[in-house]
Amino acid sequence: MKKLLLLVFALSLLPKGYAQDLLVTAKGDTVRCKILAKTDQQIFISVLQPDGTKISSYVSKDTIRTITPGYFVTESSPEKVTPLLTAPPMNQREKTKHSPHGVRFALSGGYSHRLGKLASGLKSSYKTGFVIGGDLAGFFNEYIGLGGFVNYRQYNDGSVSSVVAGPKILSRFYNRTQNSAFILGVGLGYVSYQESVSSIKATGSTFGTTVEAGYEIGLSKGVALMINACLTAGSLGKITVNGKTSDLDKRGSMSSLNLAVGLVFGR
């Protein structure tokens, strides 16, 4: 309210002919205007239009590189004034702009916990380990993207490992300032299994699905910190031990819950 009263008071003091100031933005654009008032974060200005009307607005101090007071002398005839830039309306919020299209690349790593019981025939009793993942997706618009992913999981001091890879679809929802975003994803992939205990080597494969939810915190326009939770679901029906394939009495769970942090590039 105080800012509004200050702006109204300053406007009432303006004569028909007055010296104009020059603002140069960080991008190199110029603003020909009259500075009315300043605060710690904003500069209130008045821009004279060719038809003689004045538009009152403000700009953020962070976006201004230089200020030159009294750079122009404007006569009362408005035809001699050509505004170089019209300032944004006072109620317009500054946003970090992102292209509705583009490529998103993410790398992450963290904790993996195996879900379900092991089937008979699987020697290891692993439950916890680590996961390393990466995905690449192209966005058709601001909200929907399609790409591929790969996750490597390792358990029980390296004796058991699994790789999940395949296509997935992503949904992205930016916050109001478009600095951070929620990410939801669903994928379908090939799941491989490998176990090595002494002289015994066991392998297997199946298909599985992944469901993930994450949050990206913008560090810059093109880089963000990602916090992600991913659920992988799948089960193993056959296993090959030292070259001999056999059916399992009960399907072995390949499901896991993965919690990871990472970096996102190309937002």
Digit-coded pLDDT (tens) for 107-121: 999 999 988 776 555
Local confidence band at 77 (pLDDT 50, 70, 90 cut-offs)? very low
Q: pTM value?
A: 0.59
Same domain as 220, residue 171:
yes
On whether residue 240 sits in a domain, the answer given is: yes
- With beta carbons less than 8 A apart as the criterion, state whether 207 and 191 touch: yes
In the chain, how many domains are there? 2
154 domain residue, yes or no: yes
Q: Are 66 and 23 found together in one domain?
A: yes
Length of the chain, in residues: 267
Mean pLDDT of the chain: 81
> What is the per-residue pLDDT for 125?
53
- Domain assignment of residue 226, yes or no: yes
Average confidence (pLDDT) over 3-31? 65
Model confidence band, residue 254 (pLDDT cutoffs 50, 70, 90): confident
Tell me if 132 is assigned to some domain. Answer: yes
**Whether 55 and 151 share a structural domain:** no
Contact 193, 254 (CB under 8 A): yes
* CATH number, domain with residue 257: 2.40.160.20
Domain of 245 in residue numbering reads as 102-265
In a domain, 92, yes or no: no
Q: How many angstroms separate the CA atoms of 172 and 214, rounded? A: 10
Shared domain check, 131 and 58: no
**33-37, 154-158, 217-221, 256-260 — most confident range:** 256-260
In this structure, the answer to whether residues 55 and 173 fall within a common structural domain is: no
Q: Supply the pLDDT for residue 52.
A: 77
In the prediction, which pLDDT does 120 show?
53
Q: What is the mean pLDDT of residues 209-232?
A: 94
pLDDT band at 219 (very low <50, low <70, confident <90, very high): very high
Tell me the mean pLDDT in the region 220-245: 91
- For the segment 59-86, the average pLDDT, to the nearest whole number, is 64
Instruction: Please compute Rg for the chain using Cα positions.
Output: 30
Give yes or no for residue 100 having a pLDDT over 80: no
Integer angstrom CA distances of residue 70 from 50, 81, 101: 19, 14, 43
Work out the burial of residue 167: count CB atoms within 10 Å of its CB; fewer than 13 is exposed, 13-18 middle, 19 or more buried.
Answer: middle
Q: Out of 80, 113, 130, pick the residue that ends a domain.
A: 80
Asked whether residue 55 is domain-assigned, the answer is: yes
Q: Which residues pair with 224 in a beta bridge?
A: 218, 264
Q: Are residues 131 and 210 in the same domain?
A: yes
Whether residue 128 is found in the same domain as residue 222: yes
Residue that is last in its domain, among 80, 113, 129: 80
Query: Which pLDDT belongs to residue 118?
Result: 60
Of 18 and 152, the structure prediction assigns the larger pLDDT to 152
| Domain-embedded: residue 93 | no
- Please state the rounded mean pLDDT for residues 45-49: 85
Q: How far apart are CA 214 and CA 55, in angstroms?
A: 43
Tokens of 243: 């070259």
